[in-house]
Amino acid sequence: MTAHASHSEHEIADVDAYMVRLGEQARAAAGRMRRVDTAAKNAALLAMAAHLDQARGEVLAANAKDLERGRAGGLDAALLDRLALDDARLDAMIEGLHQVAALPDPVGEIDGLRSRPSGIQVGQMRVPLGVIGIIYESRPNVTMEAASLCLKSGNAAVLRGGSEARESNAAIAACIRAGLERAGLPEGAVQVVATTDRAAVGRLIDMPEYVDVIIPRGGKSLIERISRDASVPVIKHLDGVCHVYLDATADPDKALAIAVNAKTQRYGTCNTMETLLVDAPVAESLLPRLAEAYAAHGVELRGCERTRTILPDIAVATEADWAAEYLAPVLALRVVDGIDAAMAHIERYSSRHTDAIVTEHYGLARRFLAEVDSSSVMVNASTRFADGFEYGLGAEIGISTDRLHVRGPVGLEGLTTRKYVVLGDGQIRR
Amino acid sequence: MTAHASHSEHEIADVDAYMVRLGEQARAAAGRMRRVDTAAKNAALLAMAAHLDQARGEVLAANAKDLERGRAGGLDAALLDRLALDDARLDAMIEGLHQVAALPDPVGEIDGLRSRPSGIQVGQMRVPLGVIGIIYESRPNVTMEAASLCLKSGNAAVLRGGSEARESNAAIAACIRAGLERAGLPEGAVQVVATTDRAAVGRLIDMPEYVDVIIPRGGKSLIERISRDASVPVIKHLDGVCHVYLDATADPDKALAIAVNAKTQRYGTCNTMETLLVDAPVAESLLPRLAEAYAAHGVELRGCERTRTILPDIAVATEADWAAEYLAPVLALRVVDGIDAAMAHIERYSSRHTDAIVTEHYGLARRFLAEVDSSSVMVNASTRFADGFEYGLGAEIGISTDRLHVRGPVGLEGLTTRKYVVLGDGQIRR
């Protein structure tokens, strides 16, 4: 009897041996997936969508078991909401599979092919990374998203979801396997880890012979722990302490619209603004209008001393506020003297996720774009645009705040690497 | 008195504190270097070249001391050759600085700027990595090469050369500092570690707060040790076990020329062919001609059993030969049955540096390019072309056999990362 990722947990006594088996199967599948054509990958994605559509009953029943166990175990409302599936969320998962199938295949794309004096032509071809391990928390729809992006980019994936979602993930994994089988792709192309034993995570991040890169998705403490312990390279997203700077030349209406949208369009996302910087000459005109708008949204304001001379009723912002990722209807406000002071604040406190300037001054816009060292830098746009769909990547597996390999939203391209290709007619080196 | 990288070794009692000070200075300089314009960077490179030209006497005198100490210490001839400087090598270093000054500045380049349905424009801008630590062995010209590439790409560099070259490196470091000063750039932009204490390396690779990436250059054991111990990301090159496969449809003259050039043009380089695979139908016609050509170059052949039925006088190749990076006039030969057997051999034994096919068959060329998973994959060209100059990168800091970030020859672009830039007119997210 061979090992299947579908094995229920009680069958997996030796987690170490189980993970090595998944690793071997993934490595073997990666060699095959590298060569699979676009049509076969798309066929697998569409077959997964069809299977998920047919298996709605099973998936929702499995999810109900997870929810029941979660409620009994005292999971909080936010976690239960992330865990819950319904027909609308299944529709979105199915639609997501169709969208990824419709995206261009990055594999095989050759950039910059040019002739050299020796007579050879040199270019760079996109190829899959190999085996990608993804570690995530309770949202079961991530299972299908991660599977689809890894598959379309020609990689093999090993997916390890949170234990809260184990029944849901097993049901989704069955649809993934059925889709792979229907398209004639190896089962090892996407494997869902079937044990909730935490030792499985420790093994997954420590087998560079089988896994080429780890992408953790979840809270900061999970990601820090994985980055510290992994011997496999990690593509990670830590926190999002994002800034908007309203320059003195900003169009007041744009300034107001962007500052309100960046904070209030959603509170819990990493691209939400956490600190608003206001240029001193416009503080008196803008701050009262901003305070009124934020009050209407129920946003609590915390300001520097200069802010509080204009808005005396708000709380004082402390050092901790400048560094805070609130993920909540709370905003820190600071009055600054010009772009240099604004950029100095950003240099010190930004998590280098996304920072924006609102200005009508060409030179300042140009300076802000060049000098602010964040994964996304914006002029006259809301920080909430920093995501893969809005940027046109089609989909994203996360947002990288690393510097190496990929930075910002990670789509199919971020899941590939490039090799040099050289075309000659018998050239030799002199 | 402030710390200078020029301090002679006896002044550095506390290596840990010294390295932290270099790190702090590098981090501060990196913030400045990110914003420095192309003209200032080029001025610094040309000033370094001028200073090196003026300081030939001092540099050669320092090098003579290193050579004397090396000879007394029993360094072998190859190491002494790598360590030695003369006027021709100084000319090459000066010419190298001029070449890097003439290269396009990658910083600020924006790729793929396109409009999105929301009205924003999104593109990706190249920016420096930050602080780069380079650890290398006895060749003192690497000091200037590494300095020039890191500087042109807008990074700050901390350079740690081998102790054999300490006097030479100190003399070159003085030219680097003078060039930075002349161009008004911070001294922290390029710092040469002034202690030969090995603890300095241990500290350099373990201060992610000051160093963004480590590039080791040198032997495999040095690189493996650094990769294992580093908490900073490493861009590395391990070994070069490169293959050429002569397909049955290959033009015999091209096959012969490439097979001979890939092995004999230089023996000690990582892109030298170490195993030659010959398609069975042409083995009888090609192997005797090849053996004759290799004999003329004094290359020792070791063959599989099928090879030895045609060339009975050569030694038998063992499992160890297929995995060997000889870096010497030795070649392993294997007769294979077609491209699938050739690619299976490459998949198993290649170090994924550079592999080539010689063929006139369009479909096989296309398959080899797509399916061989090496940092450079070639058709009808010598593996010896796999380097930054031949590929048109202008210069290279090394060749990466990693998969993430940069793969193959690493030029200025490999020393940068990309951030997203978003241009709007007040767009907010709906």
What is the CATH number for A106?
3.40.605.10
CB-CB under 8 Å, B418 with A404: no
Q: Is residue B404 part of a domain?
A: no
Residue A261 to chain B, least CA–CA distance (Å): 6
Q: What pLDDT, on the 0 to 100 scale, is given for residue B430?
A: 92
Other CB atoms within a 10 A radius of the CB of residue A1 amount to 5
CB-CB under 8 Å, B212 with A376: no
Q: What pLDDT, on the 0 to 100 scale, is given for residue B3?
A: 40
Q: Which helix (H) or strand (E) holds A135?
A: strand A131-135
Q: What pLDDT, on the 0 to 100 scale, is given for residue B205?
A: 97
From chain A, pick out residues whose CB is under 8 angstroms from the CB of B380: 423-427
Whether B359 contacts B64, CB under 8 Å = no
AA letter at B83: L
Cα gap A309→B152, rounded to integer Å: 47
Q: What pLDDT, on the 0 to 100 scale, is given for residue A13?
A: 85
CB-CB under 8 Å, A405 with B379: no
Are B299 and B343 part of one and the same domain? yes
CB-CB under 8 Å, B120 with A385: yes
Are A210 and A291 part of one and the same domain? no
CB-CB under 8 Å, B427 with A420: no
Residue B298 to chain A, least CA–CA distance (Å): 19
Are B226 and B324 part of one and the same domain? no
CB-CB under 8 Å, B120 with A377: no
Q: How would you label A259-278 residue by residue, b for 16+ Cβ within 10 Å and e otherwise?
A: bbbbbbbeeeebbbbbbbbb
Whether A45 contacts A152, CB under 8 Å = yes
Are A213 and A267 part of one and the same domain? no
Dihedral sign for Cα A350, A354, A357, A362, please.
positive
Q: Determine the residue among A118, A120, A339, A359 to mutate to test chain B binding: the one whose Cβ has the most chain B Cβ atoms within 10 Å.
A: A120
Token pair in block for residue B235: 């861009």
Mean pLDDT of chain A: 95
Cα gap A277→A14, rounded to integer Å: 54
CB-CB under 8 Å, A374 with B120: no
CB-CB under 8 Å, B403 with A130: yes
CB-CB under 8 Å, A407 with B382: no
Other CB atoms within a 10 A radius of the CB of residue B84 amount to 18
pLDDT of residue A246 exceeding 60 = yes
- Tell me the Cα Rg of chain B: 24
Are B230 and B260 part of one and the same domain? no
Kindly report the length of chain B: 430
Other CB atoms within a 10 A radius of the CB of residue A4 amount to 15
Other CB atoms within a 10 A radius of the CB of residue B95 amount to 11
Nearest residue to A187 (alpha-carbon basis) of A6, A397, A416? A6
Token pair in block for residue B12: 């550095």
Q: Are strands A300-303 and A315-316 parallel, antiparallel or unpaired?
A: parallel
Angle CA A86–A87–A93, to nearest 5: 95
Are A188 and A253 part of one and the same domain? no
Find the CB nearest B381 among A262, A417, A424.
A424
CB-CB under 8 Å, B108 with A370: yes
Are B374 and B248 part of one and the same domain? yes
Other CB atoms within a 10 A radius of the CB of residue A298 amount to 8
DSSP three-state, residue A286? helix
Burial of A38 (0-12, 13-18, 19+ CB in 10 A): middle
Are B326 and B228 part of one and the same domain? no
| Sequence-distant (≥ 6) Cβ neighbours of residue B378 within 8 angstroms | A120, A421, A422, A423, A424, B354, B355, B356, B357, B385, B386
From chain A, pick out residues whose CB is under 8 angstroms from the CB of B417: 403-404, 407
Q: Is residue A208 part of a domain?
A: yes
In chain A, what percentage of residues exceed pLDDT 90?
A: 93
In SS3 terms, A34-98 reads as CCCCHHHHHHHHHHHHHHHHHCHHHHHHHHHHHHHHHHHCCCCHHHHHHHCCCHHHHHHHHHHHH
In chain B, what percentage of residues exceed pLDDT 70?
A: 97
Q: Is residue B269 part of a domain?
A: yes
Which residues, in sequence order, are bridge partners of residue B334?
B277
Q: Is residue A95 part of a domain?
A: yes
Q: What pLDDT, on the 0 to 100 scale, is given for residue B10?
A: 53
Residue of chain A with shortest Cα separation from B35: A371
Q: What pLDDT, on the 0 to 100 scale, is given for residue B144?
A: 97
From chain B, pick out residues whose CB is under 8 angstroms from the CB of A428: 257-258, 260-262, 265, 381-382, 384
AA letter at A94: I
Are B162 and B259 part of one and the same domain? no
Find the CB nearest A114 among B120, B392, B405.
B392
Whether A63 contacts A140, CB under 8 Å = yes
Count of the separate structural domains present in chain B? 2
CB-CB under 8 Å, B120 with A390: yes
A7 falls in which pLDDT band (50, 70, 90)?
Answer: very low
Cα gap A371→B127, rounded to integer Å: 9
CB-CB under 8 Å, B379 with A34: no
Q: Is residue B1 part of a domain?
A: no
AA letter at B129: L
Residue of chain A with shortest Cα separation from B358: A426
Whole-number Cα distances in Å, B248 to B185, B360, B364:
58, 9, 11
pLDDT of residue A85 exceeding 90 = yes
Q: What is the DSSP letter of A152?
A: H
Find the CB nearest B114 among A257, A392, A429.
A392
Residue of chain B with shortest Cα separation from A30: B373
Whether B202 contacts B20, CB under 8 Å = no
Other CB atoms within a 10 A radius of the CB of residue A229 amount to 12
Q: Is residue B405 part of a domain?
A: no
Other CB atoms within a 10 A radius of the CB of residue B199 amount to 12
CB-CB under 8 Å, B378 with A422: yes
pLDDT of residue A9 exceeding 80 = no
Assign residue B348 the CATH number of its domain: 3.40.309.10
pLDDT of residue A6 exceeding 70 = no
From chain A, pick out residues whose CB is under 8 angstroms from the CB of B257: 426, 428
Taking the CA of residue A391 as centre, how many other CA atoms within 13 Å lie in the half-sphere pointing to its CB?
30
CB-CB under 8 Å, A258 with B428: yes
Of the ranges A108-122, B198-212, B393-407, which one carries the lowest mean pLDDT score?
B393-407
Tens of pLDDT along B276-298? 999 999 999 999 999 999 999 99
Cα gap B69→B74, rounded to integer Å: 9
Mean pLDDT of chain B: 95
Are A228 and A280 part of one and the same domain? no
CB-CB under 8 Å, B130 with A265: no
Q: Is residue A131 part of a domain?
A: yes
Cα gap A217→A399, rounded to integer Å: 9
Which strands make up the sheet holding A110-115, listed edge to edge?
Answer: A110-115, A121-128, A416-427, B376-381, B354-358, B242-246, B273-279, B330-336, B300-303, B315-316
Size of interface A-B (CB pairs under 8 A): 213
**Residue-wise DSSP of A351-396:** -SSEEEEE-S-HHHHHHHHHH--SSEEEEEE-GGG-STTTTT-S--
Whether B112 contacts B124, CB under 8 Å = yes
Residues of the domain holding B19: 9-236+410-420
AA letter at B12: I
Find the CB nearest A428 among B127, B261, B420.
B261
Q: What pLDDT, on the 0 to 100 scale, is given for residue B13?
A: 85
| Sequence-distant (≥ 6) Cβ neighbours of residue B182 within 8 angstroms | B43, B44, B47, B51
Token pair in block for residue B337: 């049955």
Cα gap A415→A405, rounded to integer Å: 10
Find the CB nearest A407 among B371, B376, B419.
B419
Residue B79 to chain A, least CA–CA distance (Å): 25
Q: What pLDDT, on the 0 to 100 scale, is given for residue A220?
A: 86
Phi and psi at A302, nearest 5°, equal -130, 125
Cα gap A116→A422, rounded to integer Å: 10
Q: What pLDDT, on the 0 to 100 scale, is given for residue A305?
A: 98
Q: Determine the residue among B391, B402, B430 to mutate to test chain A binding: the one whose Cβ has the most chain A Cβ atoms within 10 Å.
A: B391
Nearest residue to A152 (alpha-carbon basis) of A43, A25, A31, A232? A43
Range A15-43 average pLDDT: 97
Q: What pLDDT, on the 0 to 100 scale, is given for residue A302?
A: 98
In SS3 terms, B189-218 reads as HEEECCCCCCHHHHHHCCCCCCCCEEEECC
Q: What pLDDT, on the 0 to 100 scale, is given for residue A11?
A: 66
DSSP three-state, residue B140? coil
Tens of pLDDT along B151-192? 999 999 999 999 999 999 999 999 999 999 999 999 999 999
Token pair in block for residue A105: 């295949």
Tens of pLDDT along A271-317? 999 999 999 999 999 999 999 999 999 999 999 999 999 999 999 99
Cα gap A50→B111, rounded to integer Å: 37
Token pair in block for residue A54: 């047919």
DSSP three-state, residue A421? strand
| Sequence-distant (≥ 6) Cβ neighbours of residue A225 within 8 angstroms | none
Residue A403 to chain B, least CA–CA distance (Å): 6
Residue of chain A with shortest Cα separation from B262: A428
Are A358 and A415 part of one and the same domain? no
Kindly report the length of chain A: 430
From chain A, pick out residues whose CB is under 8 angstroms from the CB of B106: none
Residue of chain A with shortest Cα separation from B406: A405
Residue of chain A with shortest Cα separation from B124: A376
Are B231 and B247 part of one and the same domain? no
Residue of chain B with shortest Cα separation from A119: B381
Residue B360 to chain A, least CA–CA distance (Å): 9
Higher pLDDT, A138 or B128: B128
From chain B, pick out residues whose CB is under 8 angstroms from the CB of A394: none
| Sequence-distant (≥ 6) Cβ neighbours of residue A252 within 8 angstroms | A282, A285, A286, A289
Tens of pLDDT along A164-223? 999 999 999 999 999 999 999 999 999 999 999 999 999 999 999 999 999 999 888 889
Residue B324 to chain A, least CA–CA distance (Å): 20
Cα gap B329→B179, rounded to integer Å: 42
Nearest residue to B137 (alpha-carbon basis) of B171, B114, B161? B161
From chain B, pick out residues whose CB is under 8 angstroms from the CB of A417: 403-404, 407
Q: Determine the residue among B228, B373, B375, B393 to mutate to test chain A binding: the one whose Cβ has the most chain A Cβ atoms within 10 Å.
A: B373
pLDDT of residue B265 exceeding 80 = yes
Q: Determine the residue among B228, B385, B407, B415 to mutate to test chain A binding: the one whose Cβ has the most chain A Cβ atoms within 10 Å.
A: B385
Which residues, in sequence order, are bridge partners of residue B214?
B133, B234
Residue of chain A with shortest Cα separation from B365: A423
Q: Is residue B182 part of a domain?
A: yes
Residue B59 to chain A, least CA–CA distance (Å): 31
